[in-house]
Amino acid sequence: MSLPKKSLLNRTAQCALVVFALFTFLGVGDDDARFRDLGHHLICACGCGQVLLECNHVGCQYSDRMRNELAAAIDRGDNDDLALQSFVQKYGPTVVAAPSTSGFGRVAWIMPFAALLAGMAGLVWLVRSWRSRPAPAIADGIQPVQGPELERYREQADKETDL
């Protein structure tokens, strides 16, 4: 027995959603991936300025300890924010490799996109001002150009088309 057309569409959409969700959540909850991700969002507190998982100083007083603390936070089931927050409390705000998305840190994230939008607006204004300029007046009874003037146009055409 065949399904009505609407039902078939619904079923197809549901299947597509399930497949999408399946792919989306593949890998979610992978502790190793979270460790790597969070480890790349933290800076080693030893002062080397390197990302925690890339600090390669032998005998570094901080990196091993911090990595262990991060692994422990993940084992405890802390979510990403909580894990990062515990590092901020212990090592200060510079331990996080990027500004926070709240408070003044938000300005850091907004400004580049604000600049892009402002630039876009400027570009639109520029194009509109160019387009609103009056076109050069064309006299009646245009005569075909010849001689040096024609040569000038030919050169211009060459320059602009390269043919």
Partner 1 sequence: MSQFSSAVLPQIGSFALLLALALGAYSFLVGVFALILGGKDSDYLGETARRAGIATFAAVLLASVVLVTAAFTDDFSVAYIFHHSNKDLPGPYKFAVLWSGQEGSLLFWSLLLATYGFVLRLRYRTDPKLFAHASVVIAAVQVFFLLILNFAAHPFAILEGSVPPDGSGLNPLLQYPEMVIHPPMLYLGYVGFTVPFAFAFGALIMKYPGEKWIHITRRWTMVTWGFLTIGIFLGAHWAYSVLGWGGYWGWDPVENASLMPWLVGTAFLHSVMMQEKRGMLKSWNMWLVFLSFWLAIWGTFLTRSGMISSVHAFAQSPIGMWFLVFIFISFIAFGVVYILNFRFLRSEHKLESMISRESSFLFNNLLFVTACFTVFWGTFFPKISEWLQGNKVTVGAPFYNNVAVPIALLLLLLTAVGPWLAWRRTSFESLKRSFKWPAAGALSIGLLMIILGVRPWNDIAYFYSLMAAMLAALVIFTVISEFVRGGQVIQRHTGFSLLGSMLHLYHRNTRRYGGYIVHYGVAIVIIGILGTPFNRDAEKEMGFGDKINIGPYTLVCQSYTQDDNPNFSNEWAIINVFKGNEQLTTMYPERRLYKASSQPQTIPRIWETWYQDLFLVKDLYIVYEGRNEDTGRPIIKAHLNPMVPWIWIGLVIMVFGTITCLVPNATPVRATVPARVQTAPAVGAGD
43 - beta bridge partners?
A: 51
| Least Å from the CB of residue 153 to partner 1 | 14
Instruction: Return the CA Rg of the chain.
Output: 31
| Least Å from the CB of residue 66 to partner 1 | 14
Q: How far is it, in rounded angstroms, from Cα 46 to Cα 94?
A: 11
Q: Does 29 bind partner 1 (CB under 8 A)?
A: no
Q: At what angle do helices 31-39 and 80-91 cross, to 10 degrees?
A: 40
In the set 75, 82, 119, 151, which binds partner 1 (CB under 8 A)?
A: 119
Q: Does 95 bind partner 1 (CB under 8 A)?
A: yes
Torsion angle of C-alpha atoms 113, 103, 100, 116, degrees rounded to 10: 0
In the set 51, 75, 77, 148, which binds partner 1 (CB under 8 A)?
A: 51
Read off the tokens for 69: 């603390």
- Contact positions vs partner 1 (CB under 8 A): 20, 23-24, 26-28, 33, 37, 40-41, 43, 49-51, 53-56, 58-59, 92-100, 104-105, 108-109, 111-113, 115-116, 119-120, 123, 126-127, 130-131, 133, 158-163
